[in-house]
Structure 1
Amino acid sequence: MKMLLATVALLATGFAHAQSNWPEKPLTMIVPFPPGGVADTVARPVAESLGKALGTTVVVENRAGAGGATGIGAASRAAPDGYTVLLSLSSISILPEADKILGRKPAFTLEQFKPIARFTADPVVLVVRAEAPWKTLAEFVADAKRKPTAYNYGSSGNYGTMHVPMEMLKGAAGFRMTHIPYTGAGPALLALLGGQVDAVATGPSTVAQQIKAGKLRALAHWGEKPLQSLPEVPSLKQAGFGASFAQWSALFVPAGTPDDVVQKLRAAARKVANDPQVIQTINKAGSPLEYLDAPEFQTYWTQDAALMTEAVRKIGKVE
């Protein structure tokens, strides 16, 4: 018995030592979307800065598919040792309810993750090609009402952060458009630029440069206040439509990750949020930093998940 207890104590000591020395190897940051979208735009500078703060390398791994469910699901099943982190958008709040609506087992649950920090929280922006006939949201809505089968919009996938806000707008304004899902914001944006779709709703950082280059036109945004990168663009509420949506980005780890590792990640995330290079890079992309530490972000996330669950239930079943 004494030998057994001694063995258990030795193992416990060894585990504690291993955790105290964390990290002893590079981290993998899963990004559940392809390159070119909001998540990837945030993940690249955050991963570089996080690696410096932790004294290791953080390797970004894009795992796209199913509107983000493929990558988020993979992160939920990762070993809870701190060596796999997830940089997700607000789709993490949407997809479990969407799976229930579709009558299938959720790819993950919110309880499978611990929040570390939120980095951005951007209202999505409705954009069309610069040569499109619509100069204002009112013209866009009126034309869509006149021709309910003529136009379509692209998204990052069913129930993703580009699909849900457009469905919210359609419901509030009372028009129809065909939804064309892609594997991420990048492919959806390329489809818009190439003329395969007529509109997208996505984060400012994805489209700010294309707007400035005169290739795209922004008609409205889903926010509560003027956008820093696009101050002249009106909000949906200013146009009389009661729809709002934030495409936020945040860092998570699998539930069960040791508390001391979580604390180290939180401390590193605070350094990232104060890194001038990160701030400059994200601001330049059109997505200002909106940092929240884990406790404040947990409160925000809980409230957001409740709102998104309601929105998904209103959308209903989408095949």
Structure 2
Amino acid sequence: MKITYRFLLFFFSCAAFFHPIKNAVAQENWPIKPITMIIPFPPGGVADTVGRPVADALSRSLGQPVIVENRAGAGGGIGMAAVAKAKPDGYTILLALSSISIIPEADKILGKPPSYSLSQLKPIARFTADPTVLVVRSDSPWQNYYQFIDAMRKSPGKYNFGSSGNYGTMHVPMEMLKASQKFFMVHIPYTGAGPAIVGLLGGQVDAVATGPSSIVQYIKAGRVRALAHWGEGRLASLPDVPSFKEMGVPIQFAQWAGLFVPAGTSDFITNKLREASKVASNDEKVRLIINTAGSPIQYLDAPEFKAYWDADAKQMEEAVKKIGKVE
């Protein structure tokens, strides 16, 4: 049978017409398969504490499993870059911390091509926003912040602190404190908050700065002592711990946790994720788990979260520039 030019033109015109219809139908049925939530840190840290109960609640709302995948490395950069470059079909989502704003600027300072840009990611919802807490082991000689800072100044380089990685949310606040109070500690980077806390408990490091949700259980168990935090006033989970601000130290740092998707994800899918995230933020099970960990829900929907993220990213960019190059 002879295929004419006119027939081919008709065939491809029909294909072009039905292709967007097929895509629209597929979107309206989203999700039709499991969703992967990438947490760019090892288990045991703040992101994991928030991400796992949220993933469980999203599964119930969306009718498909939301499977958590811990993809650690490069202070969270590996997992964040993976989502930034993922297919924007809603099946790969990211539970990130405020270090999402730090890593691209840190890459520039290190002379490396940024592994991703903030414009490659779209914010869906913020779930928590807590100040980091300065903690030491309970058998340390420092009963309060003043004793700690006095020892650091008297013995520069004798003591060390652990973090989740260079320029991460446990590293940056400590560098801010060091610069403000003019003392020196050796930085020991780990692959995430969980391993850094294990290092503190095991005596490999002398202090860490981490979010309440990853450390409150050890404070309550008497294994570590909280000396101060980077917030405004007293924390509900740690009412006896002063903030640096109230002690006259002019630094603040919030370790927030939020949900993101690749920037090209459609409004239809992002709106479904926003609705499911709102439900998750009010879920009794989610609130109980996160509140028990010492990190109450502080929810922001996408528009408010975007404004908050923009302002926070500017502050983090300046903080990283002040820290400078870290090998």
Tell me the TM-score range normalised by the shorter chain: over 0.9
Aligned residue among 151, 156, 170 for 1:148: 156
Match of 1:182 in 2: 190
Equivalents in 2 of 1:140, 1:225: separation in Å? 20
- Superposed, 1:8-87 pairs within 5 Å as 8-87=16-95
Q: Which structure 1 segments of 5+ residues have no match?
A: none
Equivalents in 1 of 2:13, 2:143: separation in Å? 75
Aligned residue among 227, 238, 254 for 2:246: 238
Structure with larger Rg: 2
Identical residues among aligned pairs (%): 62
Q: What letter matches 1:267 in structure 2?
A: E
Tell me if structure 1 keeps the 8 A contact 2:126–2:299.
yes
Work out whether 1:258 is the aligned partner of 2:255.
no
Match of 1:160 in 2: 168
Work out whether 1:89 is the aligned partner of 2:103.
no
Aligned residue among 221, 224, 237 for 1:229: 237
SS in 2 for 1:289: coil
What's the offset of the Cα at 1:267? 0.5
Equivalents in 2 of 1:264, 1:239: separation in Å? 44
Q: What letter matches 2:322 in structure 1?
A: K
Match of 2:5 in 1: none
Tell me if structure 1 keeps the 8 A contact 2:164–2:191.
yes
What's the offset of the Cα at 1:239? 1.5
Deviations 1:122-173 (A, max 9, x none): 1000000001111111111111000002100000000000000000001111
Match of 1:113 in 2: 121
- Superposed, 1:190-201 pairs within 5 Å as 190-201=198-209
SS in 2 for 1:56: coil
SS in 2 for 1:209: helix
Equivalents in 1 of 2:108, 2:59: separation in Å? 37
TM-score normalised per structure 2: 0.97
Q: What letter matches 2:60 in structure 1?
A: K
Tell me if structure 1 keeps the 8 A contact 2:125–2:260.
yes
Q: What letter matches 1:193 in structure 2?
A: L
What's the offset of the Cα at 1:29? 0.2
What's the offset of the Cα at 1:187? 0.4
Q: What letter matches 1:58 in structure 2?
A: V
TM-score normalised per structure 1: 0.99
SS in 2 for 1:290: coil
Deviations 1:60-98 (A, max 9, x none): 000001100011111111110000000000000100000
Tell me if structure 1 keeps the 8 A contact 2:227–2:242.
yes
What's the offset of the Cα at 1:22? 0.2
Aligned residue among 113, 137, 140 for 1:129: 137
SS in 1 for 2:93: strand
Match of 1:305 in 2: 313
SS in 2 for 1:244: coil
Give RMSD over aligned pairs. 0.7
Q: What letter matches 1:151 in structure 2?
A: Y
What's the offset of the Cα at 1:2? 4.3
Q: Which structure 2 segments of 5+ residues have no match?
A: 1-8
Match of 2:3 in 1: none
SS in 2 for 1:153: strand
Equivalents in 2 of 1:2, 1:267: separation in Å? 41
Tell me if structure 1 keeps the 8 A contact 2:41–2:72.
yes
Work out whether 1:7 is the aligned partner of 2:7.
no
SS in 2 for 1:299: helix
Q: What letter matches 1:120 in structure 2?
A: T
SS in 1 for 2:130: strand
Match of 1:103 in 2: 111
Tell me if structure 1 keeps the 8 A contact 2:233–2:242.
no
Aligned residue among 193, 204, 225 for 1:217: 225
> Across the two proteins, how many residue pairs are aligned to each other?
319
What's the offset of the Cα at 1:7? 1.5
Aligned residue among 282, 285, 292 for 1:284: 292
Moved >2 Å (runs of 4+): 1-6
Q: What letter matches 1:191 in structure 2?
A: G
Tell me if structure 1 keeps the 8 A contact 2:233–2:246.
no
Equivalents in 1 of 2:13, 2:276: separation in Å? 36
Tell me if structure 1 keeps the 8 A contact 2:92–2:261.
yes
Q: Which deviates further from its counterpart, 300-309 or 220-229?
A: 220-229
Match of 1:173 in 2: 181
Q: What letter matches 2:216 in structure 1?
A: A
What's the offset of the Cα at 1:6? 2.2
SS in 2 for 1:238: helix
